[in-house]
Every structure is written in structure tokens, then in C-alpha cells.
Amino acid sequence: MKKCVLMALASMLAAMLVLSCTPGATPTAAPDARPVSTPASVPSANLPPSTPQEVEWQKVEEAAKKQGKLTVYSFSFVGDLGLALSKAFKDRYGIQMELVAGSGAVFLERLKVESRAGQRVADVLEGSATNGILAKKDGLTQPFGFLPAAAETGIWLFDPRIDPDNNLIGYSPSISTTWANTKLVSQAEEPKSWRDLLAPKWKGKMVVTEPDTMPLPTVYYIAFTRYMGLDDDYFRAIGKQDLIFTTTQRENDSKLIRGEAPLSFTSNLTSMSMLVAEGAPVKPLDMKEGVAGRVQTLNIVKDAAHPNAARIFINWLLSAEGQTIGARLRSTLPLRTDVQDFTPAAARVKYTKVFPLTPKDENDNTKALRDRVVSKLWGR
């Protein structure tokens, strides 16, 4: 049995990309990102301990430095972002970080196999809240304990502590809204409300991903019905607008950029902002009811070999220094409001009403809900 488990583990290893984050590698700068000064230290790092929590944290830092390394299974920390994070973290703490890149579904299966085999490879799991929640439900994660950065108040777009059991923490928002092709939609014509999308002139003019293959339409169904005062009747009416369906978000966004449709029902701010920086003629629309937010999350893997290094890394990623790295490269949005947002001005939304999906909301975004939207509300 153990031999079979190890063989399965080996096959999954072959299917994944391991990024060797070489110290000293220089990441490519974002096209027009302005240099900013990053904090000389992570908050509280140089303060003499004066409370029991600060004394505990000092011990965590000392233990982490002795551990000297950690492994992160990550969906997002690839390319320049992975290199930049690895170098900056080692420069700060002297801890070497190995990043293993892959999809959330593969990571979940891999963690199960490793757990059954008694293997302890990953220390941190990074990815969508959905996968973080599933990892917790499957008993693959453990609580963080106290994190100084997470305890800071008044500086978050929304609270990163989304899990009452402290097994899951957010670090970067994923904001989606309606986007317009600026060559096809004048400023005067831009929809200002989600209800404006029901106007006859937008019939047959909106691209949208298939709800049974991509989560964004049902993310918005949850946000509409629970937070924005819109109901099944609204979603049913949207379904009668002769939507142009796509099977992937990339296809959806490409059709908008090429002018095959003037509007995208929902597109992601981070990925689209990179295209705006390259000259794509598109912009996000601020809807008066608000926009939906999801969050990229972090877990510490149960029985991690380097748990203190994992805690230090997660805390650092929530610090101003850690948040600034992804923001400068336009790879992640900062969750902290005291960190500069390098999103091109033409791709920004005002964040006046952002409704972050809770773990319960993410749990409810199931195949059964997607099937209901497809068949009963959109008649597909």
C-alpha cells in the first residue's frame, strides 16, 4: 500500500513545475511602476518585546531562522513575483523559500497523498479561498497562532482574518466587475448600475464565461442576492440579454479587447490591469450597488516541517513590505490600504463598495448552484 502511495506521489511531482528561486535573481520591473521606499522592517520586528505576544513572536522568529527554509505550494507566486518574494524574504530573514507552482486541485490531492504517506513536504498552501477552505475541511491545515501584521487595525480593504478557526487568512483581494471596450462604449453610455445592463441596447453585446465551467457568474449571483439587493429575477433577466458565452476567462477578455463585444459581464481587475498597461482599450466600471471581491489565501499545512518559518512568511506577506512587492509587479492587489496601488489609473475602481465573499459564500458556490443558474435562471 505504501509503495502505491509513493508511486502516486511521484507521478504528481512529475506533473508539476518546481520553481527554483535563485537568490540574487533580478525580477523584471513592471512597465511604468514607480520606485517606492519599502519599510526598513516588518512592523514590530525591531521593537523590544513588551507584551506576552511580542515575546512569543520573538521566539517564533528565532526558531524560524534556525529552521532556515520552507516550501510553499502556490498557484500565484510564479515568474517574477516568485523570484522577487523569495529574494526579499531571504534578504529579510535569511530563510530560503522553495516555491512549487501548480493548480489548487492538484495541490489538494497531493497534500492528501503526502499525508497518507507520512510525508511532510509543503509548509504553506497559497491559492483561492475555495481551495484553502477545502484543505481545512479535509484536515490538511493547522491554526496560525498570533500574527502581528494581521492584528493591525484600520489599514485593510477588508479584514484578512476570514476564518474564525484561524486556519485560513487572506492576503490579496481579487476584484471583478463589468468592463467596457472604450472604443465601443462612450463615457456617457457607460452603465452605472448592474440594472443598466438590462437596457435593450446591451442585448447581444455582453461576453460572459459559462457558469458551469467558470466561477465568476455564480460569484456574482451570491454577491447580488446576499449583499447588493438584486434577486433571481435580475439574474433571469440578464440571461435573456442574448449573452455571448465563452469557456474560459482568457477567451472572454480577448473578445472584449478585440471589440467582438462592447461589454464583459465580469472580468478580473488584476489580470485586466496588466493588459491595460500594454494599451488594451478597456476599463472597469464602478457599479453603484458595489462590486464583488474574493481573496487569495494562505494556510499552514498540518504537521509542517517548518511551522515557524511558515508563520514568519505569512506575517511578512501581510506586512507593508511583503504587500508592496506584488503590487509593484502588478501581480497581486494589496489588501492593505497603506500600500501604494500600482494598478494603471485607467484600470482602477474606487473600492467604495466591495463585498468580499465569506468562507460560507465560497462553500455555497457549488456545482449545484452553477447548474441551477445555468438551467433555471439562464435556461441553458
C-alpha cell at 159: 479584514
Secondary structure of residue 302 in the 3-state scheme: coil
pLDDT reported for residue 47 = 53
pLDDT along the chain (380 residues), means of 10: 44 40 35 32 52 90 96 95 97 97 92 94 94 94 95 92 93 93 97 97 94 76 92 92 92 96 93 90 93 92 97 98 94 93 83 81 83 77
> Which CATH class, in words, describes the domain spanning 174-294+348-377?
alpha beta
Secondary structure of residue 161 in the 3-state scheme: coil
The alpha carbons of the chain give a radius of gyration, in whole angstroms, of 22
Instruction: Delimit the CATH 3.40.190.10 region(s) of the chain.
Output: 2-173+296-328, 174-294+348-377
The DSSP bridge pattern shows strands 282-284 and 169-181 to be: antiparallel
Secondary structure of residue 270 in the 3-state scheme: helix
> How many beta carbons lie within 10 A of that of residue 372, not counting itself?
16
pLDDT reported for residue 46 = 53
Q: What is the distance between the alpha carbons of residues 198 and 194, in angstroms, rounded to a whole number? A: 8
Q: What is the distance between the alpha carbons of residues 310 and 61, in angstroms, rounded to a whole number? A: 10
Q: What is the distance between the alpha carbons of residues 311 and 64, in angstroms, rounded to a whole number? A: 8
Q: What is the distance between the alpha carbons of residues 128 and 174, in angstroms, rounded to a whole number? A: 9
CB 330 within 8 A of CB 30: yes
The DSSP bridge pattern shows strands 263-268 and 206-209 to be: parallel
- Cβ-based burial of 166 (10 A; exposed 0-12, middle 13-18, buried ≥19): middle
Which of these, 36, 25, 11, 14, lies nearest to 341 by C-alpha position?
36
311's CB contacts (< 8 A; 6+ apart) are 60, 64, 144, 145, 147, 300
DSSP letters spanning 36-67: -PPPSS-TTTTSPP-SHHHHHHHHHHHHHHHH
CB 72 within 8 A of CB 97: yes
Q: What is the distance between the alpha carbons of residues 16 and 110, in angstroms, rounded to a whole number? A: 10
In this structure, which topology does domain 2-173+296-328 adopt according to CATH? D-Maltodextrin-Binding Protein; domain 2 (3.40.190)
Secondary structure of residue 128 in the 3-state scheme: strand
pLDDT reported for residue 258 = 97
CB 358 within 8 A of CB 170: no
Which of these, 285, 282, 251, lies nearest to 183 by C-alpha position?
282
The DSSP bridge pattern shows strands 206-209 and 96-101 to be: unpaired
pLDDT reported for residue 31 = 31
CB 174 within 8 A of CB 293: yes
Q: What angle do CA 13, 144, 37 make, to 5 degrees?
A: 90
Q: Could you give phi then psi for residue 167, rounded to 5 degrees?
A: -100, -10
C-alpha cell at 55: 515575546
Eight-class DSSP state of 160: S
Eight-class DSSP state of 127: E
> How many beta carbons lie within 10 A of that of residue 96, not counting itself?
15
CB 56 within 8 A of CB 146: yes
- Cβ-based burial of 341 (10 A; exposed 0-12, middle 13-18, buried ≥19): middle
Q: What is the distance between the alpha carbons of residues 274 and 210, in angstroms, rounded to a whole number? A: 23
pLDDT reported for residue 70 = 97
CB 220 within 8 A of CB 213: no
Which of these, 329, 327, 311, 38, lies nearest to 150 by C-alpha position?
311
C-alpha cell at 286: 464602478
